[in-house]
Amino acid sequence: MKDKILRCFVFGTFLLAVVLLSGMVSAAASAPTAVLFTDNSTSLYDEGHFVINWTNASVDTGYTVYIWVNGVMFNPVAVNSSGGDVTSGVAGFSYTNATQANYTFTIEALNGTATFGANATNVSMYIDTTSPGMTIAVPATGWKSGSLTLHANSTDALSNVTSSTIAYGFSNSTENFSITTPGTCAWAGVTATGYNCSLTFATSGLADGNYTLWFNSTDAVGNLGYVDVAIGVDNTVPTVSVSKSTSATSSVTVDYSCTDAGSGVATCALSSSSGTFSGNKVSGLTCGTSYDITITSTDGLANSGTSTVAMTTSGCSSNTGGSSSSGSSAAVWTTHSVDDATFSQGYTRELGANNRIQVSVGGTIHHIGVVSVATDKVTIEIASDPVTVSLAPGEDTKVDVSDDGFYDIYVLLNSIVNGKADLTIQKISEAVPEGAGSVATTGEDLTPEQTGAGTDSSDDEGRSLTWLWIVIGLVVIAAIGLGVRSRKQ
């Protein structure tokens, strides 16, 4: 009896061991494999929503796939398809959390007796919901012109922007800018320049006006960072207007203004070829003389604009024209002054009749004037001691006005245009050839003292008149004598 009982105990113990061993073998399920994140931007970073898929070829019936997040069981019973092959072993798990952190997902196949971590696969994922931080180092807000330097920085603490680019562009309220698509700047690690993005941009491609210069960049997850700065583009010089308000024999009063629609007027100044300036008045001028009056203006970006007009003082008669010249044939001259440097280099101008150019030779004022203009000839007077010549186009004249044996003034008639003489004048110093006169011309010399017949005729006429008066006087004396004698008789 005891043996029978012993045999039954041993057999029961064996059966119990078999049952227990069977349970232990069934707990040895394989860990899920081929874990995939299928609803995220990259394999490492996401904005907070995950769909996780896995496969397991040996998960038997009765085993459950558990999901752990950072060591805490999140889903005690995840969906797991049956069948044990790669296709039917794919399942899905969705998880959402927008808190930025590093998340570790543990996917484990267990039955009721297995321990945590025995058949597990771990996958880590960062959540990044913050846009890249962006700054514009250059330019600062304000007006710009010419070539514009652009410096920008873009940083991201988690997913970074190293695989992306920084975009930039210009926009304004009317969108009337020539950049139709944004430009790009390849992101670079901060180097010695201190910037992630450095480039230059020609503002000539933009119309003058106010703009918003913007930059943006995306991180590896797709978060967008944006920054902008207000600038103005001004590549246009200021507008300058100038006109004569009043004039006197020795001064002109000038009305002028400067405007700039962009960066504004910085300077607006008057200058003249001669005279002194006080406010908008130029004094110390010569009567009947034309002067170049110039207004120069700069804007806030140093764009500079000028306007020059010729202004003439009130006229004066010949002999009171404010110079040392005399003997002019014109009743009233309009005089245009030329400085010595311009005269020495050569000066070309169109002059009508009774217009003259004032120059200085050896400290003495002289004039080159147009007496008359015909269709094919121009009569020109060079004074102080007047020299008159007739020139056809292409003919010229040299005159020694200082009587020092050197020709001082050169005059060339280039052409006759619309009733005006196109003249070139120049200061020269050319020795007068031996035996030559003070005037050398390829035209016709009309100076009275150099026309011999005219001088002799005038002298003969004077002598004839003298003898006529002598004869008349003698006749009168004889008549008086005869009358006295007759009374005595």
196: CATH: 2.60.40.650
The pLDDT score that the predictor gives to residue 416 is 94
pLDDT at 264 over 90: yes
Q: Which pLDDT value is given to residue 192?
A: 54
Question: Both 341 and 440 in a single domain?
Answer: yes
Q: Of the ranges 79-83, 287-291, 398-402, which one carries the lowest mean pLDDT score? A: 79-83
Q: Which of the two residues, 426 and 72, has the higher pLDDT score?
A: 426
Average confidence (pLDDT) over 225-248: 89
- Cβ neighbours, 10 Å, residue 166: 26
For 387, residues 6+ apart whose C-beta sits below 8 A from its C-beta are 381, 397, 399, 401, 438, 439, 445, 447
Interval 150-158 mean pLDDT: 85
Q: Is residue 467 part of a domain?
A: no
Determine the pLDDT at residue 115. 57
Amino acid at 107: I
Backbone dihedral region for residue 331 (phi beyond 0: left; psi -120 to 50: alpha; all else: beta): alpha
Same domain, 175 and 265: no
**Does residue 340 sit in the same domain as residue 371?**
yes
> pLDDT, tens digit, for every residue of 362-401?
888 899 999 999 999 999 999 878 899 999 999 999 999 9
Residues 350 and 445 in one domain: yes
**pLDDT per position as a tens digit, 214-226:** 888 888 778 888 8
Full strand arrangement of the beta sheet holding 281-283: 239-247, 252-259, 281-283, 276-278
394 and 348 fall within a common domain: yes
Each residue of 100-118: b (16+ CB within 10 Å) or e? eeebebbbbbbbeebeeee
Q: What share of the chain is helix, strand, coil (3-state, %, to 5)?
A: 15, 45, 40
Burial class from Cβ neighbours inside 10 Å (0-12, 13-18, 19+) for residue 265 reads: middle
In a domain, 391, yes or no: yes
User: Of the residues 90, 109, 127, which one is the last residue of a structural domain?
Assistant: 127
Residue 144 near residue 231, CB atoms below 8 Å: yes
CA dihedral 283→286→289→293, nearest 10 degrees, is -20
Helix (H) or strand (E) segment spanning residue 459: helix 452-488
Of 156-160, 169-173, 369-373, 473-477, the least confident: 473-477
Whether 229 and 244 share a structural domain: no
Q: Does residue 460 lie in a domain region?
A: no
If one counts the domains in the chain, the total is 4
- Lowest-confidence range among 10-19, 123-132, 176-185? 10-19
Q: What per-residue confidence (pLDDT) applies to 452? A: 43
Residue 49 pLDDT greater than 50, yes or no: yes
Shared domain for 262 and 301, answered yes or no, is yes
Q: What would the pLDDT profile of 427-472 be if each residue is shown by its tens digit?
A: 999 999 998 889 999 999 888 754 444 444 445 555 556 667 776 7
47 domain residue, yes or no? yes
Map tokens 């002059």 to a residue: 351
Q: What is the mean pLDDT of residues 4-30?
A: 51
Q: Specify the CATH number for the domain of residue 303.
A: 2.60.40.10
Q: Is a pLDDT exceeding 70 seen at residue 13? A: no
- Residue 233: name the closest of 298, 169, 144, 301 by CA: 144
Residues 147 and 122 in one domain: no
Considering the chain, what percentage of its residues have pLDDT values greater than 90? Answer: 27
* Least trusted range by pLDDT, from 69-83, 184-198, 210-224, 421-435: 69-83
Residues 215 and 190 in one domain: yes
Decide if pLDDT at 178 tops 70: no
Boundary residue ending a domain (198, 217, 233): 233
Say what the pTM is: 0.54
Within a domain: 447: yes
**Residue that is last in its domain, among 312, 345, 374:** 312
The CB-side HSE value for 122 (13 A sphere, CA atoms) comes to 11
- In a domain, residue 482? The reply is no
The per-residue pLDDT of the chain, averaged, comes to 77
Residues 165 and 184 in one domain: yes
Q: Which of 195-209, 227-241, 394-408 has the lowest average pLDDT?
A: 195-209
Q: pLDDT-based confidence at 147, cuts 50/70/90?
A: very high
> Are 396 and 350 within one domain?
yes
Within-domain flag for 5: no
The whole domain housing 379 covers 334-452
Residues 114 and 138 in one domain: no
Of residues 10 and 272, more confidently modeled:
272
pLDDT in tens, 305-317: 999 888 888 876 5
Q: Are 242 and 256 in contact (CB under 8 A)?
A: yes
Least confident of 68-82, 125-139, 149-163, 467-481: 68-82
Residue 4: inside a domain: no
Residue pair 67/110 in contact (Cβ under 8 Å)? The answer is: no
pLDDT at 345: 92
pLDDT of residue 343: 92
C-alpha separations of 283 from 42, 81, 309 in Å: 81, 105, 16
Confidence bin at 180 (pLDDT 50/70/90)? very low
